[in-house]
Amino acid sequence: MNIFKSLEEILVFYSNELLEAPLVNSRGSTQKEVLFESFMLLDPSNITIDIPDRKFNENYAYAEWLWYVSANPSSNNIGKLARIWRDISDEYGNVESNYGTYLKPQWEWVKNCLLEDRDTRRATFVINQPYHKFKNSADYPCTQYVQFFIRNNKLHMGVSMRSNDLVFGLCNDIFTFSLFQQLMLNELNQSGANLELGQYFHHAGSLHVYERHFDMIEKISSFKDFKEGNVRLREEVNWKNLNVERFPEIEKTKEEIYDFVDKKKLEFLK
């Protein structure tokens, strides 16, 4: 298994791997792809990306995470920040890939599992469901399941993906799932668990890059100026006091959405 210190290192490593990967044609587009990749991120707070050629929009990543926390599938506002959400919405303006809609109903059960038995292997969230095969063909969730373990007094998390685009999907997924790992850590510690942040594990059945990004990953592949970029939630933050349930419902302009995100960051980030 490949082991990395930061999300930047992951992006650079797999940019190099995919440069030499074979071509595939899937769903009408050309990609380069590697199969069944697994890796570990040692510090799930080292998730910023300052690689110039990637142009990572960290404020968008926070907005996406808050939208997940809202557990509301409406693409009304998030679609103003990233068109993909509107493109894959159903006739009601909803998507299947707001991961919070699956995590939130299972959250307390999983948390209690971990509190009741520190050695449990049952602390899993199921995301991709059988009904997705027949519901919205434009949005078939990429994430299969999420699992937590407590080992050596640390909270570890693993995420299994059926499919991951390196440039957009993987970067934003690791960023947001790492925040969910920290959120679970907070809630366990608020219940007296006294744990530390463990490692983040990621598995992708297909890790790929689209043809439009071939030139980008070639530029990214030579990046070497890695820096620490820690993103940590305040210890008092939990799902309830984030209070973003109405985030996707109230009509906002793009500027108002980012103003909202900036204000929330002051509340939940160290």
Q: Are residues 168 and 120 in contact, defined by beta-carbon separation less than 8 angstroms?
A: no
Residue pair 229/43 in contact by the 8 Å Cβ criterion: no
Residue 129, helix vs strand vs coil: coil
Given this model, what pLDDT does residue 256 score?
94
User: Strand (E) positions, 118-235?
Assistant: 124-126, 143-151, 154-165, 196-210
Section 176-186 average pLDDT = 98
CA proximity to 63, closest of 232, 244, 253, 261: 261
Which residue, 163, 166, 143, 164, is CA-closest to 54? 166
Domain containing residue 122: CATH number: 3.30.572.10
Assigned token pair, 149: 């373990």
pTM: 0.96
Q: Quick one: pLDDT band at residue 224, thresholds 50, 70, 90?
A: very high
In sequence order, what DSSP letters do the residues of 163-182 get, joined into one string? EEEIIIIIHHHHHHHHHHHH
Q: What is the pLDDT of residue 156?
A: 98
Kindly indicate the confidence band of residue 26, based on its pLDDT and cuts at 50, 70 and 90.
confident
Tens-digit pLDDT profile for residues 47-103: 999 999 999 999 999 999 999 999 999 999 999 999 999 999 999 999 999 999 999
pLDDT band at 251 (very low <50, low <70, confident <90, very high): confident
Percent of the chain at pLDDT exceeding 70: 100
Domain that holds residue 227: 2-268
pLDDT tops 90 at residue 249? no
pLDDT tens profile 229-240: 799 999 999 999
Domain count, the chain: 1
Q: How many CB atoms lie within 10 A of CB 34?
A: 17
Q: What is the pLDDT of residue 246?
A: 79
Spatial neighbors of 219 by CB under 8 A, at least 6 apart, are: 53
